[in-house]
Structure 1
């Protein structure tokens, strides 16, 4: 057999994601390139590694065994690479971060320079809701988490990064621009909520309850991106973070609707368990954030100040 590490990595990604398309995206390759290498890898074996039924790919039992072996081999190769970089005095290894879904508009800006500077550092980011982010941190699955609401039951250290502002947002169909919406008018709006466990949902529910607003729920969606698209389509209104709305506000697809008591302001925080023994990579990342957060926020989020 003469398969390559590249082919092994491609098969492992396809087996893990159950999709040639998703594997090509993660590997930054075209779909035809992935398909060609996958076919060459299969050609090394007399037993099928996968089956294609309709438009879906199914991994055979034999393929699952090969995927497990591939994961172990690739892990060992990465360990060799890490050791080589370590002997050269360079940072090497994995940085793991769990972030709430809205933080995907923020976290990359705090990572890009660090990742460019340290080529031996690999990054694993899990994007999910607040409840699952906190669980990952509590179970020591990740080095850091990025949240806007601090989990009170955990002893954590943190770096406050920047403000998180939540506004009432509607589509371009809403006609009372630049006028404060009344409580009575708000109660008539079809509202779009995030799912249970979302910090954005908790903030929205807190605002409604604290202002004794009687309203009804139009729908529930599992990401701020889905909420945003539903608002653009005219399906309803929501109280959501400003951070992910820059393009849509600029082109007029969305608008901030002024209302007494808004915006609700929290802060984005990078947090980690106080008891955690941070790796060398994690300690360097903390130093990077402390040294550069002011420059990063002023450079990438100056538009924030106009709201």
Structure 2
């Protein structure tokens, strides 16, 4: 009975082949290209020249003997196998980073890298928590990314960071550890001269008539607001879609409409600022921030220490109303 010829990967004995032919530098470079989806940005991040990055990626792809990406113009798109290779490279680099942290800790040095991604609601307190944390770990490298919910969920799937701070519960389809952290109420705001300011228990039907400023599609705040009005059988009168809470607050100040924002973002302006919180039925929307990381992820000493800080006293860094 005839047997099929071995594939190229079988012929090379893939596990031993990769150990002999791949280098850690190639793994690092490909992970950076996959993360930034750009040769130029990867080169900048690694302090390499773009020709060096191109050479490393060419050798890496030839060693694997598979197509890892497509380049259309200046854009890089990973193939299906490229996504898998990028995930594996990320795990290798994470394990090496964790080993480096443990060795430094053994030597009495507190070095390492901490990567945090958070939704915009968290950006009002997280820098304060990080500032406190680096007093104990002054030599660590920090990466702090702020994005909307959809982008954050994608980053979790790609295992890009150590910890994630998100405003709504992650979907049940995502296998993660979810730690409820602190309340994150959403409030309706208007310019202090708006006719609704000072009214009590304003009906949602009245709010639905007002021009409203909304976050972009994919934002957790937008999803929460749309769900609230949809449940009441009401359609929002969206005037503008904007991509940051601060831009929305500026638009409210310019009398362009009302908006829903995290209560903590209003506190930064002080109690006597130009923006007022409206008293609306069903508001504030009671939400909370959650600390999330993939199930089975081995947190580094640095990430575990920062998680402990957030659980113990992180909520104290939320801004309170100022007179």
Shared fold (TM-score greater than 0.5)?
yes
Q: State the shift of 1:143 in Å.
A: 0.8
C-alpha root-mean-square deviation of aligned residues, in Å?
Answer: 3.0
Equivalent residue for 1:154, pick from 163, 170, 174? 174
- Runs of 5+ in structure 2 lacking a partner? 1-39, 56-96
- Residue 297, structure 1, aligned to residue 318, structure 2: no
The aligned counterpart of 1:219 is 240
Residue aligning to 1:92 = 111
How many Å separate the matches in 1 of 2:320 and 2:214?
A: 28
Deviation at 1:148, TM superposition (A): 1.1
Q: After superposition, give the CA deviation of every residue in 1:270-305 in whole Å (9 maximum; x if it has no partner).
A: 111111111121122222233x32xx434644449x
Question: Deviation at 1:159?
Answer: 2.9
Task: From the superposition, tell whether residues 274 and 132 of structure 1 become closer, same or farther in structure 2 (CA, over 3 Å).
Answer: same
Give the corresponding residue for 1:272.
Answer: 293
Identify the residue that residue 222 of structure 2 maps to in structure 1.
Answer: 201
Q: Distance in 2 between matches of 1:68 and 1:254?
A: 51
1:132 and 2:151 are equivalent in the alignment? yes
The alignment partner of 2:225 has SS state of helix
Name stretches of at least 5 consecutive residues in structure 1 with no aligned partner: 1-14, 18-22, 24-61, 70-78
CA drift at 1:170: 0.6
Following superposition, the deviation at residue 252 of structure 1 comes to 2.8
Specify the SS of the correspondent of 2:209. coil
- The aligned runs of 1:229-244 (5 Å cut-off) are 229-244=250-265
Deviation >6 Å, runs of 4+: 66-69, 81-84
> Counterpart of 1:278 in 2: which secondary structure?
coil
Matched with 2:208 is: 187
Distance 1:104 1:262 in 2: 22
1:200-255 deviation line (CA, Å, top 9, x unaligned) = 10011011111222332101111111111111111011122111111335233100
Match of 1:116 among 115, 128, 135: 135
The answer to whether the 8 A contact 2:264-2:318 is kept is no
CA distance in 2 between counterparts of 1:100 and 1:151 reads 12
- Within-5 A mapping of 1:6-21: none
Counterpart of 2:305 in structure 1 is 284
Number of residue pairs the alignment of both structures matches: 236
**TM-score (structure 1 length as normaliser):** 0.68
* Contact 1:249 1:255 survives alignment (8 Å): no
Q: Which residue of 2 aligns with 1:258?
A: 279
| Distance in 1 (alpha carbons) for counterparts of 2:196 and 2:256 | 17
Give how far 1:86 is off. Answer: 4.4
Looking at structure 1, the residues matched to 297 and 184 of structure 2 have their Cα atoms a distance apart, in angstroms, of 27
Partner secondary structure for residue 260 of structure 2: strand
- TM-score of the superposed pair, with normalisation by structure 2: 0.65
Change over 3 Å in CA distance of 1:232–1:212 after alignment to 2: same
